[in-house]
Structure 1
């Protein structure tokens, strides 16, 4: 780890982007709590909770490659700005539906799908904005600061969402709308300095170029596919309403605390990484973080004590953010500027698959065997995937020492 280098927060555009991410991610986290809580209240079904994740994932699956092309052809700041405005319209309708009493489970699924589509275009453009506004040597620290913004939002968002739903889901939706508006204003004033516009004709070759780039580089493919399968199996976030209500019996306030616990662990580690970035033994550090993630997931699954569950979730977040920083830095450092959008789109697809499809997998498994067995099985699956990737499919990943990967 290296403490050297000035803070990227001295860059005003990056600072605006960093604060905007806190507000926009807080909005999304509040929406996740409110939609999940409202869906479970309406249906009393773990399967319906899983469908919310599936509704967010399907647009991502269909639109990721077009989103990457868009991010490499048009101003990335404008794309993020317009996507957040569209998300604000959806949230406004959720506010009206909740206040007027006509919002049903189908409406929630439609809203989740539209939000998923917007975030599919927003994600690659937002990720590619970072290399557009900071120098290349600052990318590891920028990745750590970006992770801290995400995790700060994951503390504020779920906690605030859990508190606000006590007064009704409309209150949480209103707060989400306000946060989105703040984010769009900040994004509007971000200025890019390194953006390279891609003007090649759109054809099947350029359409698939991001996928080809990723699959041609084993380090990038190994890290993002590892995240896909490991987090897909180990993600128990979708089941937190069930743990809060039926197992730990803490209600909506406890749900907010449970949702915040991983972010507390993550922000502690991410802030450390802004000062002491990981620059050696990259592969071994990634592998160790995944083992901790898997064991903490198992601990959470078997725990019936609220404080022990919070501690397990803290470890989940702390270990996961190490993987996040390593993966995002690897992608950005080893991707040409003019391809950042397409490659980040593929990365977003893998990340979104692990999150949204992971929620569907967890909900379906919980519906079949129960929340506790589903969580334990998921943790064991993550542990198995980690060993398979590191010792069999991608052994070069385990021995990777720096962020600069060899091609091929």
Structure 2
């Protein structure tokens, strides 16, 4: 009797999702809108600080975006599970295009009526864009798996989507700083608006998808939101991963204070600001490309905890540094570590969440993690006002380390997570 040879292991294809034409259009659209938002963030931050010379004013930018984003988040998740996702995305992009054109108008002669109000119109435009981006997150998050279909490709799709986002985050700040420095604020906002339009056009060439079939009777909005919240808060792995990233970003992020470091501590001007803003994303792109070839499967939870701890340590080092290239290197390493955490978190959410609930679960994710970027910006600005810029960054990194230790102690299921 002969013994059959064991079947060979299925070989990992790092380019599997890139062979899908509509996924390529999706990541191209995401690249353009991310590039636009990064350029806008750099230019608005420098413009506000140039006008006010107040780090607290930079924190208010984050607050102006976070308040509307948090306010609409749960409803946006409900809408993403009830309305075709492409329709939501196209509407949001139209609003974001209007916001970019409004910022452009503020810098032109036609904007002199707005400029008599000082920086208030800028905050108002950011507030409106915060509403739009609150709806964008759940729609994009739940639309992507509809383009992929095969659940085995989720991790690959998330990795390439993350790589695209991070690549735009590398190029965006550098382009924004350089265009602002050599072409002026008007040209920078013109480039921003053109990229939003390109994203709109890429999405227009992706076919719409029907909503996934729901389980059980149709729910009203209250029941729908309650179902999504119960799912998240009843799943220790998802909840602990969201909470870990939320508090790490809330306390550990120092991006909003980079104009202060570039202007007053490192003294490198808007060109240096663009380079510093790009540093975390450069690290993230490098790690994401590595993970496309070597995806994380074993001990994912432990690796996530160690990477968030490393992120906090990098923030402490960055706060204490007054050497430009050392600061750049620490930000680069922080992005590398943050990329691991983000990919693991996104993969576990996509893996453990039913298709018909992804909009609502994504909205909770946006509240926990997405909006913590903006709330963290406000916290950083406020802490810098009260403690000073350097002590506030060191304090935030130290708090991140404490949060990682507490999560590792309490969330045993996350600690043991493997894919």
Q: CA deviation at 1:308?
A: 0.3
Instruction: State how 1:31-110 maps to structure 2 within 5 Å.
Output: 31-100=40-109, 101=112, 102-103=114-115, 104-110=118-124
| Aligned equivalent of 2:418 | 401
Q: CA separation in 2, counterparts of 1:323 and 1:194?
A: 31
Root mean square deviation of aligned Cα: 1.4
Q: CA deviation at 1:263?
A: 0.6
- Give TM-score, length-normalised by structure 1: 0.95
Q: CA separation in 1, counterparts of 2:399 and 2:219?
A: 43
Change (3 A) 1:209 1:311: same
| Aligned equivalent of 1:136 | 151
> Which of 16, 22, 34 does residue 25 from structure 2 map onto?
16
Q: CA deviation at 1:197?
A: 5.5
| Aligned equivalent of 1:165 | 180
| Aligned equivalent of 2:4 | none
1:221 partner SS: helix
Q: CA deviation at 1:191?
A: 2.8
Q: CA separation in 2, counterparts of 1:187 and 1:269?
A: 27
Q: CA deviation at 1:156?
A: 1.1
2:108 partner SS: helix
Q: CA separation in 1, counterparts of 2:11 and 2:202?
A: 29
Bigger Rg over Cα? 2
Maintained 8 Å contact 1:73/1:197: no
Maintained 8 Å contact 2:285/2:336: yes
Instruction: State how 1:320-335 maps to structure 2 within 5 Å.
Output: 320-335=338-353
Residue ranges of structure 1 left out of the alignment (5+ in a row): 403-408
* Residues 1:155 and 2:164 aligned together: no
Q: What CA deviation, in whole Å up to 9, does each residue of 1:56-107 have, x standing for no partner?
A: 0001111011100110111111211110111101111111111224433111
Q: CA separation in 2, counterparts of 1:119 and 1:359?
A: 16
Q: CA separation in 2, counterparts of 1:196 and 1:149?
A: 26
Instruction: State how 1:226-375 maps to structure 2 within 5 Å.
Output: 226-375=244-393
Q: CA deviation at 1:314?
A: 0.3
Maintained 8 Å contact 1:297/1:316: yes
Off by >6 Å, runs of 4+ in structure 1: none
Q: What CA deviation, in whole Å up to 9, does each residue of 1:292-339 have, x standing for no partner?
A: 111111111111000000000000100001011000011011111111
Q: Which range is displaced more, 312-321 or 204-213?
A: 204-213
Q: CA separation in 2, counterparts of 1:318 and 1:3?
A: 26
Change (3 A) 1:140 1:248: same
Q: CA separation in 2, counterparts of 1:339 and 1:32?
A: 31
Q: CA separation in 2, counterparts of 1:384 and 1:75?
A: 42
- Give TM-score, length-normalised by structure 2: 0.93
Q: What CA deviation, in whole Å up to 9, does each residue of 1:227-282 have, x standing for no partner?
A: 00111100000000000000000000000000000010000000111111111111
* Residues 1:184 and 2:192 aligned together: no
Instruction: State how 1:183-202 maps to structure 2 within 5 Å.
Output: 183-191=199-207, 195-196=211-212, 200-202=218-220
Q: CA separation in 1, counterparts of 2:230 and 2:184?
A: 47
Q: CA deviation at 1:354?
A: 1.8
1:208 partner SS: helix
| Aligned equivalent of 2:12 | 4
Q: What CA deviation, in whole Å up to 9, does each residue of 1:9-60 have, x standing for no partner?
A: 1111111111111100010011101111111111111111101100100011
> Which of 110, 115, 130 does residue 129 from structure 2 map onto?
115
Residue ranges of structure 2 left out of the alignment (5+ in a row): 1-9
